[in-house]
Structure 1
């Protein structure tokens, strides 16, 4: 049994010493003082478990002392006070309790009753001590949690590149249900001018949900910035989630890329509400429903990374949103819903849609707390190539290292499974590709390899794209032929040379196909909306030299980057 420390205050020394001896017989310690001033001094110097104070004392009486003792206890541990008085009337007891005492004991003192009260207050003091310990533990836990949240917020802010979220043609909003959001919005422009976006919604809310998103952001930026295919990015994100997160922590996500040169929008949706493609006047041109499971659910060999492609035939805007937006409830418990979301956009100009949606959504909630993270991202998909905004400068630029060369031969297995263009561009950057050439090199290489694969190895006719729904049929047929591919080869050779007036980049792409006669090609009408025949015209416009060699299955391109390279050897080239 815990030994208690008592403070006894009484102007009658006999009573004080009697209580002192009785406390000692019970195994407790009692300090006796004969006045209020000395009691305050002792109470300030040391801790007591119980105070017994006389009602009537010269100078400072018991009522005044009780009030001062209670003020000294503020912010500290609770210490019970028992009033001792020769007056046992009810009013006297009420007055003592109102002054701050916890109990009342009439004189002459019944020591059996005093013993019972000491035991009772000891039990209460033990409970109070437990509560205090628990409270201190809760405070420490709260402080640790706040520190974890602070670090997580800082980390998430560094992982999300806000300058990209403010990229021209992109609008966004995100409102977390708790301090940290379990939704993630990412935007990344690639070297070739394409714009990638992602909306991810992790399982749960707050810190646990936010942490599961950390492995995904850097993978998305790294692959999107290099121009990897959307299907490859989705597959890698799935693998990253399975590798780093617990098995029960999956991430619903929607990924999209807009390719302004080809006017193509590509979407992968795994567990996110249907993405919307809206016209200028807010009508739905197409929906991209979830056709895949969220990231992290299936192993790599079972994961489906097929995407949907759509031709952009007029200025349009893609809307990605989380389920927190449409599942938000008003005071009556009714959800905002998909139809109300569609109605919000009707007749509203693209640049005003986000703010209009924000006002409508929070007006509908009517003060109700957000139950799930609420997020939305809008991506402009214009027909005008120049309205997509300037290409952002990349960080960590590698200086040009002069002359270098590499070549690679790709068999049918690599053509079926590898997203080769970003890899080749990365090689060029590592070797010292002039930074001014990177965007053009990416674009030209993409067009050359795409033509070699589609028309050379797979023998697809571009004219299919010009037919009704031809683009979709073309892509479906491309996927079937690529999966069934059992032979074929593409060889790529890239060389950077220093010439007197700058640097020269030479690119050769040769395929194992039948080839074609350049003279039989009909130049595309610039005013036409046809989605074929533009590749070579684009390469010709970007390059200084374009040669069709061999039987029409080899293309040679030279890209010139002017600059000061005094003393460099001269290189002569001729166009066909």
Structure 2
């Protein structure tokens, strides 16, 4: 046992000497003072483990001295005080305890009892010191955790890109179960005008869950801004999660891409409740259930992506929500439930459904704290199409002294590349590197996508546009395209892209040639897509964005030309709208 440092306070020098001699024989160190005033001075100068104080003393008596010592201990921590008194009445003991003493020993002192009490209080003091040390450690850990939460909250706030979520076409609800949310809501508009949204729900909640979402958000924004397909994005997110997160952590997610030009929406659901396509009155038009495993479970070579693509009617909305919303339990352990969510959505105008859902969940919880994050996102599928010439993504300057750079490249793609590559974002990014004029990036991406799609779908796969007729035609067309593309073993596409910059005028030429049999294009040359049809919008879009569209040969080569002035500041879009 470590020796104790003891302060003995007694105005009788003989008693003080007896106490000091006995305690020193036990191996402890003792300082004896004759008054309460001297005791306070010595206590302020030296740290003691225990105090023995006499009840009756001139000046400050034992009670007043005890009270003063307790005041001093508020800044130094608790240490035991034992009262020594010749009075054995119960009232005397009560007075001592109320003044702040921890125990009472009657005089004349029984030194065996004193030894036992010293040992007892030594054990208590040691435990008190251990508790104080543990408390200090806990405060240190709490401080570190608070700093980690602060940094993580800052990162998550930046990752949300609220300027995109605060779009007039997107509404959302995000209520974390902890200080940091394990749910993530993302939105991004690509350079070709498609709108991407994602709701991700990581395993658990709070800081550990939030950390696993950071690499996914960066990959999503980078790929969505360039217009990659949902299955390509899902594969990359799965790869990123397996690369940077523990094997026992996974992320359930739903992603959607809305194409305003085709009025279509594509959904990938991996482990979340079904996304709902609803009309203006909140009635469910389509449910997109989970057909995929959450991100991070399967390795890349086993990961399978299954998306659903449908044509959307006017005034449609897409609702995404996490399982924390429908599993929120009230004090009787009753979940909020999917049926109650549907009732809230259908109870009025769809534009206000999230406010109704939030109010209903709070009422259902009855003051209880939700055990999981609550999140949902509503996408208005009437987002305006991007006009030609609009630059959606900042691009590096591609001019020197105000003149557009000239460049050209030719590429031949075989069936194997056509099956596995997401061509349009890859080719657009390559052309940006070559020096594609920044003001032409949006129109270029749209035109290239439509020309490649037409060459593959109609030229190589032989898909007729009539497949899209009817309410379920678009789904039928997409399924047929997937089947035929997987079975494609021959055929090729030739790309000839050239940008010419000169003082007399700038020109961007996009030529796509397929090895298919062609089609009777003269009758299609001046056609436009009727609003009631589910096809023909692609060619109409290309003609709208281009200065001129040329169809050559048997209809298997199409060239789109974009021409604009070389004078800086000219509104180039007016030249080809």
Q: 2: CA distance between counterparts of 1:396 and 1:385?
A: 22
Q: 1: CA distance between counterparts of 2:175 and 2:508?
A: 48
1:164 alignment counterpart: 164
Q: 2: CA distance between counterparts of 1:445 and 1:515?
A: 19
Q: 2: CA distance between counterparts of 1:482 and 1:155?
A: 41
1:364 alignment counterpart: 364
Q: CA 1:363 to 1:397, structure 2 compared with 1: closer, same or farther past 3 Å?
A: farther
The reply to whether residue 267 of structure 1 matches residue 267 of structure 2 is yes
User: How many equivalent pairs are there?
Assistant: 565
How much does 1:468 deviate?
5.4
Q: CA 1:547 to 1:392, structure 2 compared with 1: closer, same or farther past 3 Å?
A: closer
2:457 alignment counterpart: 454
Query: Would you say the 8 A contact 1:189–1:391 is kept in 2?
Result: no
1:569 alignment counterpart: none
1:549 alignment counterpart: 552
Q: CA 1:183 to 1:468, structure 2 compared with 1: closer, same or farther past 3 Å?
A: closer
How much does 1:536 deviate?
1.8
1:398 alignment counterpart: 397
Alignment of 1:528-547 (within 5 A): 528-547=531-550
How much does 1:407 deviate?
2.1
1:574 alignment counterpart: none
Q: 2: CA distance between counterparts of 1:341 and 1:462?
A: 38
Q: 1: CA distance between counterparts of 2:394 and 2:384?
A: 24
Q: 1: CA distance between counterparts of 2:390 and 2:346?
A: 31
How much does 1:332 deviate?
2.6
Q: Deviations over 1:439-466 (max 9, x none)?
A: 1001000000000110111111111112
SS of the equivalent of 1:147 reads helix
Q: 1: CA distance between counterparts of 2:370 and 2:233?
A: 31
Q: 1: CA distance between counterparts of 2:397 and 2:211?
A: 32
1:340 alignment counterpart: 340
Q: CA 1:522 to 1:397, structure 2 compared with 1: closer, same or farther past 3 Å?
A: closer
Q: Deviations over 1:79-136 (max 9, x none)?
A: 1111111111121111111111011111111211111111111111111111111111
Q: 2: CA distance between counterparts of 1:396 and 1:486?
A: 37
1:474 to 472, 477, 485: 477
Q: CA 1:289 to 1:98, structure 2 compared with 1: closer, same or farther past 3 Å?
A: same
TM-score by length of 1: 0.95
1:16 alignment counterpart: 16
Alignment of 1:272-283 (within 5 A): 272-283=272-283
SS of the equivalent of 2:212 reads helix
How much does 1:215 deviate?
1.1
SS of the equivalent of 2:291 reads coil
1:111 alignment counterpart: 111
Query: Would you say the 8 A contact 1:497–1:503 is kept in 2?
Result: yes
1:70 alignment counterpart: 70
2:421 alignment counterpart: 418
Q: Deviations over 1:170-221 (max 9, x none)?
A: 0011000001111000000000111000000000111110011111001100
Q: 2: CA distance between counterparts of 1:469 and 1:335?
A: 35
2:563 to 560, 565, 568: 560
Q: What residue ranges of structure 1 are gaps of 5+ in the alignment?
A: 567-576
2:517 to 483, 506, 514: 514
The reply to whether residue 247 of structure 1 matches residue 247 of structure 2 is yes
How much does 1:338 deviate?
0.7
Q: Deviations over 1:30-80 (max 9, x none)?
A: 111100111011111111001001100011110111111111101322111
Q: CA 1:185 to 1:303, structure 2 compared with 1: closer, same or farther past 3 Å?
A: same
How much does 1:469 deviate?
2.2
- Which shows bigger deviation, 307-316 or 444-453? 307-316
Q: Deviations over 1:259-280 (max 9, x none)?
A: 0100001000011101111111
1:496 alignment counterpart: 499
Q: 2: CA distance between counterparts of 1:243 and 1:450?
A: 33
Query: Would you say the 8 A contact 2:261–2:385 is kept in 1?
Result: no
2:98 alignment counterpart: 98
Q: 1: CA distance between counterparts of 2:208 and 2:236?
A: 22
SS of the equivalent of 1:105 reads strand
1:571 alignment counterpart: none
Q: 2: CA distance between counterparts of 1:375 and 1:158?
A: 18
Q: 2: CA distance between counterparts of 1:11 and 1:268?
A: 86
How much does 1:400 deviate?
3.2
Q: 1: CA distance between counterparts of 2:546 and 2:525?
A: 20
The reply to whether residue 429 of structure 1 matches residue 428 of structure 2 is no
Q: Deviations over 1:288-324 (max 9, x none)?
A: 0111110111111221212001101232000000011
SS of the equivalent of 1:510 reads strand
The reply to whether residue 84 of structure 1 matches residue 84 of structure 2 is yes
SS of the equivalent of 1:520 reads coil
Query: Would you say the 8 A contact 1:523–1:533 is kept in 2?
Result: no
Q: 2: CA distance between counterparts of 1:446 and 1:285?
A: 29
Q: 1: CA distance between counterparts of 2:249 and 2:21?
A: 66
SS of the equivalent of 1:59 reads coil
Q: Deviations over 1:533-561 (max 9, x none)?
A: 22222211211121112322111111123
How much does 1:467 deviate?
4.3
- Which shows bigger deviation, 20-29 or 210-219? 20-29
How much does 1:501 deviate?
4.9
Query: Would you say the 8 A contact 1:505–1:559 is kept in 2?
Result: yes
The reply to whether residue 463 of structure 1 matches residue 466 of structure 2 is yes
Alignment of 1:31-430 (within 5 A): 31-382=31-382, 385=384, 393-395=392-394, 397-400=396-399, 402-430=405-433
